[in-house]
Structure 1
Amino acid sequence: MALTSLFLDMKDKNVLIVGMGSVGIRRSRRFIEAEANVYIVTKDVDNDIKDELISKGAKFYSNDHLDELIEMCDLVVVATSDHELNNEVAYKAKDKLINCASDTSVSNVIVPSTFEIGSVIVSLYTNSKSPLMAKALRKKIQETITPADILNIELQEHLRIPLKENIQSQLDRKKFMEIIKDNAEIQSLLDADKLDEAINLADELLSKYIIEVRK
């Protein structure tokens, strides 16, 4: 596969999950959280898991409905322990987006390990070489991104609109963002979790900066 990273809006998209092992359960929860319509075909599933997924909007079907579900769905996730069945479903869904965790050769979509830290979304994929290292790298990233980093994002989001409204040059806007990022007093406030005070100081600096740019 020639892969590139994308974030897809899955709201109201139809997703078929075939199989309810650990992968199928994780994928079901993930796409339900993404507000997709989730349809599940499986022979066996823990009753508590089934009740949980149904309560969140998932619908369960027998194998008799497999072909029609493949036809109606935008994405097909094959997650059974039966490799022959996986290949059969993948072949039937060859014109669809398809993810098969056990065999990437029949997939055209990879569902990476994904997690959120504040407003930051991080996805990791090791080309199926080492799920263990993906887990280790996830832990390292979570330890590296600090609360102050997240507050910096919130601060810069606050500044984007007045910057666009008052400064035409993208280079000048970028320059001001860099000034804010490198301002020791502002960064000290963010380190102390004082976002409101950092915003007030940044607004003062922005007012002065706008006057300078317009001269």
Structure 2
Amino acid sequence: MAEKNNFLPLILDLSGRKIVIFGGGSVGERKAELFCGCADTIVVSLDFSERLKELEASGQICLSRLDLAAAEDSKLREIISGAFLVIPATSSSELNRKIADIAGESDILINQVDTLGNVVIPSVIKRGDLVIGISTLGHSPAVSKYTRKQIESVITPAYSDMIRLQDELRSYLKQHVTEQKQRKTILWKILESEAVWNGFSESYEKAAERAYAIISGYLENFDR
């Protein structure tokens, strides 16, 4: 019998959360770029990539210089203290395990790059407020990458505009249409309208104009 998969995707607000990344190479850099815009991100290493130095210079992350191979456990515990998530991303599997074990003592979430930890960071696609995470739980990075490319070919930047428009229309309809079922019908009609989607290629205003025309037509027919 296959082992039960207990992983569940969640969308988390990381504002003010402390993320500690161990390792200043390409993997640590990739993780730092992912988290720096939404959490207090610290990267710990003796040496850092040029990109990580740029992120520090722009105030997006904090770099902590430390020889991890020689660091005492007490020092690692001090750095990890208060962290929401720890990412051991050094070039040493043994050191990564040691960091993970120390973090685990305090029940801190761990994303391990060379094995499966208790947090899996998916490949992320963002289109404004639309966020899509893709993961194979480390079993096939190739399938994850392939899936991302397939989704990106379908989920165009226009989806961000449609989310903005739908949010605007929901507020408008709440003022003009009493029944929730009717509001839902109208919003779906707009969502499925090729004319509205095509309007985004010209401008947001053009798409909105066509959407409001659909609403007007619906309300006129409803009033008859």
TM-score range normalised by the length of the shorter chain: 0.7 to 0.9
Whether the 8 Å contact between 2:23 and 2:89 is mirrored in structure 1 is: yes
- Retained in 2: the 8 A contact 1:23–1:79? yes
Which SS does the other structure have where 1:76 is aligned?
Answer: strand
> Percent identity at matched positions?
30
* 1:91 match: secondary structure: helix
Q: Secondary structure at the match of 2:202?
A: coil
CA positional deviation for 1:161: 0.7
* Structure with the larger RCO, 1 or 2 (CA within 8 Å, 6+ apart): 1
Residues 117 and 142, structure 1, Cα contact 8 Å, conserved in 2: no
Question: CA-to-partner distance for each residue in 1:55-96, whole Å, 9 max, x for gaps?
Answer: 133231424532112112111111122222212111111111
Q: Can you give the 5+ residue segments of structure 1 that lack an aligned partner in the other structure? A: none
- Code of the residue aligned with 2:32 in structure 1: it is S
Match in the other structure for 1:54: 56
2:199 pairs with one of 186, 189, 200:
189
Alignment-derived partner of residue 169 in structure 2? 159
CA 1:18–1:188: 2 relative to 1, 3 Å: closer
Aligned length: 210
Aligned residues of 2:46 and 2:65 also touching (Cα < 8 A): no
Q: How does 1:51-200 map to 2 (within 5 A)?
A: 51-55=53-57, 56-62=60-66, 63=71, 65-94=75-104, 95-104=107-116, 107-190=117-200, 192-200=201-209
Q: 1:25 to 1:67 in 2, by over 3 A?
A: same
Residue 43 in 1 paired to residue 55 in 2?
no
Task: Work out which of the residue numbers 199, 203, 207 in structure 1 matches 2:212.
Answer: 203
Q: TM-score scaled to structure 1, two decimals?
A: 0.83
For 1:93, what is the secondary structure of its paired residue?
helix
Q: For the Cα contact (< 8 Å) 1:41–1:66, is it kept in 2?
A: no
Alignment root-mean-square deviation, CA:
2.5
SS of the equivalent of 1:33 reads coil
Contact 2:130/2:159 (<8 A) preserved? no
Matched position secondary structure for 2:119:
coil
**CA–CA separation in structure 2 for the residues paired with 1:164 and 1:149:** 22
Structure that is richer in helix per residue: 1
